[in-house]
């Protein structure tokens, strides 16, 4: 993260005989479209990292900082565009500091985080709503990175290069293959010992190719011809608008919680989303209150565990004189997890379903 205070320090800025990507006019022209912005970022990165050019510093669109090395960073926490909507699209760093100091006063500490690829490519579509971005809303992205294995049936007889070229044009996400894990096929599985004469205990259980993966080190190049049964390993970056991301998280989490409650035997009367009580970041889903017929249970993820909280349900049962003499938490006396009188932490979906099943069975007996 880069930080700088809004002060009076002056920096050297020279646009004489500079390339278009390092002048105010050239940058302003590029900001007319998302395609132009992507080209600008790529040109500056190439200039800084490959040609070792020392670049001028700019603040653009009230949200991004372009540094001397060719990086593009995105403003975090305090966003100039949010509290100064009329801030010019292109300012030198000194001009930006002066503008903010004039229109918002002193004392601001701006923080910028290296983008890390959250600027969408032209034509890329939101994985939730299916619409793409433009220069006005290109900052509104939440990115999820996953790895997935796909069958390459449609590419049989074509080269691996063709797979890479075609996948780079898919618009629902960004797909990239990597050199150290490329192609999998069951016919490549080899369960012979990798170390026929093991010198260490850990070598005894290692086989040559347990899962059938091949990589560049195994001779898989772009000229490799895809065979029947081949699968490809892809890094995938899916992009969402901010509101789409929240809606996607809510829907997926609600679906999975509904499923485990129903499998546990509960008849759900209502499900209401509420703010995550552990983390408010873009990648943490909301929590839920779930109406069960016995009362409300609050449930949600806390990092790697699911918190199940039946405090409201216990209060309802007590008010109706239906609270069992044996406490619900006594059902989990042998569970070595964080727990309290009216809550318990479950390590994952299966454990959460198991704990809910115990609670449902216990209450149904009464």
Q: With contact defined as beta carbons under 8 Å apart, do 225 and 159 qualify?
A: yes
224 plus 254 within the same structural domain: no
248 plus 220 within the same structural domain: no
pLDDT digits (tens, 9 = 90+) for 55-85: 999 999 999 999 999 999 999 888 999 999 9
257 plus 355 within the same structural domain: yes
91 plus 162 within the same structural domain: no
273 plus 359 within the same structural domain: yes
Residue 360, classed as helix, strand or coil, is helix
Q: How high is the mean pLDDT of the chain?
A: 94
Domain that holds residue 202: 142-240
pLDDT digits (tens, 9 = 90+) for 270-299: 999 999 999 999 999 999 999 999 999 999
- The pLDDT confidence band at residue 106, using thresholds 50, 70 and 90, is confident
Q: With contact defined as beta carbons under 8 Å apart, do 310 and 267 qualify?
A: no
pLDDT digits (tens, 9 = 90+) for 193-244: 999 999 999 999 999 999 999 999 999 999 999 999 999 999 999 999 999 9
Write out the two tokens for 119. Answer: 């600027």
Rounded to 10 degrees, what is the CA torsion of 352, 353, 354, 356? 90
Whole-number pLDDT of residue 163 = 98
How far is it, in rounded angstroms, from Cα 280 to Cα 297?
A: 21
Q: Is residue 267 part of a domain?
A: yes
Only one residue has tokens 């129903």, namely 262
How far is it, in rounded angstroms, from Cα 41 to Cα 112?
A: 15
Q: Is residue 126 part of a domain?
A: no
pLDDT digits (tens, 9 = 90+) for 136-153: 999 999 999 999 999 999
Instruction: For residue 307, give Cα distances in angstroms to 56, 153, 289, 298.
Output: 50, 42, 12, 8
17 plus 106 within the same structural domain: yes
Q: Is residue 43 part of a domain?
A: yes
| pLDDT > 90: percent of the chain | 89
83 plus 185 within the same structural domain: no
Prediction pTM value:
0.87
How far is it, in rounded angstroms, from Cα 230 to Cα 155?
A: 9
Task: Report how many domains make up the chain.
Answer: 3
CA angle 264, 270, 276 (to 5 degrees): 85
pLDDT digits (tens, 9 = 90+) for 312-360: 999 999 999 998 989 999 999 999 999 999 999 999 999 999 999 999 9
Whether 3 shows a pLDDT value over 70: the answer reads no
Once rounded to an integer, what is the mean pLDDT over residues 50-57?
Answer: 97
229 plus 256 within the same structural domain: no
Q: Is residue 199 part of a domain?
A: yes
Residue at which a domain ends, from 183, 210, 240: 240
**Region of residue 107 (phi > 0: left; psi between -120 and 50: alpha; otherwise: beta):** left
- The pLDDT confidence band at residue 158, using thresholds 50, 70 and 90, is very high
């Amino acid at each position: 993260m880069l930080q700088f205070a809004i002060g009076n320090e002056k920096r050297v800025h020279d646009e004489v005989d500079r390339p278009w990507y390092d002048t105010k006019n050239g940058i302003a022209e590029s900001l007319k479209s998302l395609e132009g912005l992507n080209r600008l970022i790529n040109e500056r990165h190439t200039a800084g990292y490959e040609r070792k050019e020392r670049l001028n510093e700019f603040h653009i669109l009230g949200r991004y900082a372009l540094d001397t090395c060719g990086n593009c960073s995105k403003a975090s926490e305090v966003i100039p565009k949010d509290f100064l909507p009329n801030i010019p699209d292109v300012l030198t760093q000194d001009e930006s500091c002066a503008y903010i100091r004039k229109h918002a006063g002193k004392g601001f500490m701006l923080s910028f985080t290296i983008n890390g690829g959250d600027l969408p490519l032209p034509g890329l579509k939101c994985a939730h709503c299916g619409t793409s971005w433009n220069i006005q809303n290109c900052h509104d992205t939440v990115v999820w990175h996953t790895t997935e294995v796909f069958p390459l049936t449609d590419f049989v007889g074509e080269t691996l290069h063709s797979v890479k070229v075609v996948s780079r044009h898919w618009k629902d996400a960004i797909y990239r293959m990597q050199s150290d894990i490329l192609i999998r096929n069951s016919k490549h599985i080899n369960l012979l010992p990798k170390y026929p004469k093991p010198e260490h205990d850990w070598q005894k259980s290692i086989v040559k190719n347990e899962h059938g993966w091949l990589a560049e080190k195994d001779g898989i190049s772009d000229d490799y011809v895809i065979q029947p049964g081949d699968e490809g390993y892809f890094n995938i970056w899916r992009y969402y608008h901010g509101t789409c991301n929240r809606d996607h998280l809510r829907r997926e989490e609600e679906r999975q919680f509904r499923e485990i409650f129903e499998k546990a035997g509960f008849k759900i009367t209502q499900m209401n989303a509420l703010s995550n009580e552990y983390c408010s970041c873009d990648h943490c889903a909301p929590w839920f209150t779930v109406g069960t017929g016995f009362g409300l249970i609050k449930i949600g993820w806390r990092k790697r565990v699911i918190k199940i909280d039946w405090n409201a349900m216990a209060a309802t049962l007590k008010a109706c004189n239906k609270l069992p003499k044996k406490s619900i938490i006594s059902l989990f006396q042998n569970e070595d997890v964080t727990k309290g009188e009216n809550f318990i932490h479950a390590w994952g979906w299966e454990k959460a379903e198991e704990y809910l099943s115990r609670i449902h069975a216990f209450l149904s007996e009464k």
